[in-house]
Amino acid sequence: TTATQAATQKAASATAPTGAAAMAGTKVWVNTPTNVYHCPGTRWYGATKKGSYMTESAAKAAGARPANGKACS
């Protein structure tokens, strides 16, 4: 739902590290409608219609789950 998507994006923004901390960790693509994140090099990384990039830890903190149940790191 739209409310769920907004809450996920807000939580991701609030927990996303900035500066040097943002450079640490694996960058993932979070498909915001499904709340599933995709790892670099996978088919859907950056390829879904709606989503955003963030660190894997920020995605987990926002409640996203890994695609196919496999974490990146």
Please give, one letter per residue, the 3-state secondary structure of the chain: CHHHHHHHHHHHHHHCCCCHHHHCCCEEEEECCCCEEECCCCCCCCCCCCCEEEEHHHHHHCCCEEHHHCCCC
Provide the pLDDT confidence category of residue 8 given band limits of 50, 70 and 90.
low
Determine the Cα angle at 3 with ends 72 and 30, to 5°: 15
CA-to-CA distance for 23 and 17, rounded, in angstroms? Answer: 9
Residue at 63: amino acid letter: G
* pLDDT value, residue 1: 60
Reported as a single tens digit per residue, the pLDDT across 15-64 is 554 544 444 589 999 999 999 999 999 999 999 999 999 999 999 999 99
